[in-house]
Amino acid sequence: MKRPLFLLCMLFLFAARLVLHFSPPPENPYEKRSSKMLRVTGTVEKKERKGDSRLFCLKACGIAGADPKTRELKWGLICEVDGPEPPIGARVEVYGSIWIYPHATNPGEFDLYSYYLYQGYGARMNVESFRLLSDSYDGWREGLWQLRCECGELYGSMLGEEDAAVAKAMVLGDRGELSPELKELYRINGISHILAISGLHISLIGMGLYRLLRKSSLPILPSALIALFVLVNYAILTGAGTSTIRALIMFALMAGADAERRSYDLPTALGISAASTVLSNPYLILTSSFWLSYGAVFGIAVFAPALRGELRASGKELHALLSALLGSVGVTLFTLPMILAFYFEMPVFAVFLNLLVIPLMSVAMLSALLMLPLGFLYLPLGSLAGYPCHLVLSLYRFLCERIAELPFSTYIAGRPPEWKIILCHLIYIALTAADLRLVKKLLEKCGRKAEGVTPVKLLLVKSAVCILCLFLLLGRSRPDFRLTMLDVGQGDGLCIETKEAVFMIDGGSSSKDQLYEYQLGPFLKYSGISRVDYWFVTHPDSDHLSGLLDLLSDENCPIRIGTLVLPEAKGAAEDFAELIEAAGKKGCRILWNASGRSMESQGLCISCLHPAAGAAYADVNAYSQVLKVEYGDLSLILTGDATAESEQEILRRIRNGELKDTGEIDVLKHGHHGSSTSSSEEWLTYLRPRTALISCGKNNRYGHPHKEVMERISALGCEVFRTDRDGAVIVTADEIHAFCRE
């Protein structure tokens, strides 16, 4: 059997992933202590700086005064302080308030809670005070941390603000000063890998030093040990991320193979590295960084050469170009299922952009590395050495900005089903194993002639299979009907999807500042929505449109809006002036909606019950659009912030025959987040909904939903879904379920 050790490692990874899939989530000892003041002891594991925040990470924690059996905690703490941090390796006692990282409560939302828990940290503490329990600490690691800080300051002195932030990310693993705009620009163009410490760093530093020592006639073993010592310290200096540890283990295996005069097998080294990483922390196998790091190396070093096979182009330049192109295609194809699983969108031109980015990355890296020793000696000399780095980074930004302006530069595919992700990778692995010799043997065993099988024909067949996989992966289907009430905190945001169109109703929050970036945008991308055909805005309060405004103001946003639907009340045009201006810049059509009007889409009917066209209302809540949604036998009423007076007006118009009788309905989205100013007893008695939906923020300062409203709902015997308790709520023609009901 070829590569038995590699296969053994793969079986171990599969078993580990399977065990974690069926295991309950790890228990967080801080969960029940959220918002409490605690005194905790622990050892400082590492330190970070993000903008003005100074953080240090505690491990081997214990809660002072706790039961001896439960005193020692498995999970560490991320501590934030205003002043100087304690040294690394010191045993300290900290006192402060505990803050639990938030869970994901919407489809597509990043789960910050799991992200930190998988790394071994259960909570964050705002430290009011700390004291050293002893004078001992890890002087070596603390010295490396101080060196990292000095190097960061040196970059700031020699480069502009943006270039310095990128250089710190590339060389020091410090991404704390990168602007969100630049990170997003690199991400949507598929080159965010340049901001992470990766195998390129290990190759440049480790292999460069190793070969230099070997050329100086130093024996293999001392050369390998010296290079490994430097790399281990470099890994500690840069934060020891997943990619760094992976590259470090693989370098150690390569150096060991060279010292023992044995051949180095990259797939086997990759498997050993992955298995070792999971052994040290099994939960890392659940993270995107693990899969993308190892998937990228397998794609470029194993899958891409297997695609090329024995194909040789005439001429060294053409062969190098072909190898580079197939390498970029290989890593893109192999990592695409993982990228879609975690980020839901694909940078269309990344294959071609990386043909230029990856070779120039070595230039930028060498320049940035050379700046440090020269800058310590003489600052202007370091600045001069950094000029190539500046030119490369300027070129990167220019190319990313131009490509982002191209139509269809980003394809929103949504999250593929698990079976598609697994099937594509199984096919890619089969293509990796299918070399020319094996294919010929299989054909001969089947009684077919193998003479006509050439490297070119095999490449064409493999390419055709890859294209089929691509279509399988990127193909998406719309639901017949699905309504999602998003958890936007204290606000409103609903999405209705059908096979023909997508409708949004509101999208704002008064408790979440970056709603579009962290909840609204990820949900739309997760659902594969690149265009919202109609976006209803019930009224102009910010807690109903803040996320929409952010979407419209984002120049690189790949999500398009066809028509904004606004209430046709007196003064509404002035109230919506900011939104109308932003929509005009994006080329959105404006449609004014009023009572009695409706639109239909493949079995779906959305009727407007309120407001009356051109009517004047005392406040903006009173002219909120109230919409009735019908699909088959399912009926829903969505109320925005409509007041009790609005409800009375709708009932009056129904009695007068101006509106169609709604009758009893299936689902009611209660007005104004469950406030007592809405959901009057007469309104609820008339509608008699079977299910109540309430969108409100957890522990909101308004006390929503109000007690009297909940009592009225309870009297009707409704099943209640609340975003503050259940997260997002998904309604289909067949069922209603909550994303994270407790």
d(CA 186, CA 716): 53
**pLDDT single digits (tens) 393-429:** 999 999 998 998 888 888 999 999 999 999 999 999 8
Statement: the pTM of the whole predicted model exceeds 0.85: yes
What homologous superfamily is domain 482-738 in, according to CATH? Ribonuclease Z/Hydroxyacylglutathione hydrolase-like (3.60.15.10)
**pLDDT single digits (tens) 256-293:** 888 778 888 888 888 999 999 999 889 999 998 888 88
Q: What is the pLDDT of residue 212?
A: 85
Residue 1 — very low, low, confident or very high, per pLDDT cuts 50/70/90?
Answer: very low
At 456 the three-state DSSP class reads: helix
Residue 5 — very low, low, confident or very high, per pLDDT cuts 50/70/90?
Answer: confident
The tally of CA atoms less than 13 A away on the side-chain side of residue 638 is: 26
d(CA 410, CA 474): 12
Q: What is the pLDDT of residue 267?
A: 86
- Range with the lowest mean pLDDT among 144-153, 300-309, 379-388, 485-494? 300-309
Q: What is the DSSP string of 350-410?
A: HHHHHHHHHHHHHHHHHHHHHHHHHHHH-HHHHHHHTHHHHHHHHHHHHHHHHHHTSTTSE
Mean pLDDT of 192-209: 74
**pLDDT single digits (tens) 596-634:** 999 998 889 999 999 999 899 989 999 999 999 999 999
**pLDDT single digits (tens) 218-260:** 888 888 888 889 888 988 888 888 888 888 888 888 888 887 7
Residue 709, pLDDT above cutoff 90 = yes
Q: Is the dihedral of CA 114, 120, 122, 127 positive or negative?
A: negative
Residue 689, pLDDT above cutoff 80 = yes
Mean pLDDT of 288-300: 86
Q: What is the pLDDT of residue 380?
A: 92
Q: In DSSP terms, which residues pair with 346 in a beta bridge?
A: 411
Q: What is the pLDDT of residue 181?
A: 85
Residue 494, pLDDT above cutoff 90 = yes
Residue 195, pLDDT above cutoff 80 = no
The closest alpha carbon to 563, from 609, 516, 501, belongs to 501
d(CA 594, CA 574): 17
**pLDDT single digits (tens) 651-682:** 999 998 888 887 889 999 999 999 999 999 99
Q: What is the pLDDT of residue 742?
A: 52
Interhelix angle 220-237/242-259, rounded to 10 degrees, is 180
* Beta-strand pair 589-593/560-567: parallel
**pLDDT single digits (tens) 556-599:** 788 999 999 999 999 999 999 999 999 999 999 999 999 999 99
Q: Which CATH number fits domain 34-137: 2.30.30.100, 2.40.50.140, 3.30.420.40, 3.40.50.2300?
A: 2.40.50.140
Mean pLDDT of 108-114: 93
Give the mean pLDDT of the chain. 88
Residue 311, pLDDT above cutoff 70 = no
Question: What's the residue count for the chain?
Answer: 742
The residue extents of the domains of the chain are: 34-137, 146-412, 418-474, 482-738
Residue 550 — very low, low, confident or very high, per pLDDT cuts 50/70/90?
Answer: very high
Residue 319 — very low, low, confident or very high, per pLDDT cuts 50/70/90?
Answer: low
Mean pLDDT of 115-144: 92
Tell the burial category of 479 from Cβ atoms under 10 Å away from its Cβ (0-12, 13-18, 19+): middle
Is the bond preceding residue 705 a cis peptide, omega within 30 degrees? yes
More confident residue, 225 or 1: 225
Q: Which helix (H) or strand (E) holds 76?
A: strand 76-81
At 96 the three-state DSSP class reads: strand
Residues 6+ apart with CB under 8 A from 458: 309, 434, 436, 439
Residue 314, pLDDT above cutoff 70 = no
Q: What is the pLDDT of residue 329?
A: 82
Tell the burial category of 598 from Cβ atoms under 10 Å away from its Cβ (0-12, 13-18, 19+): middle
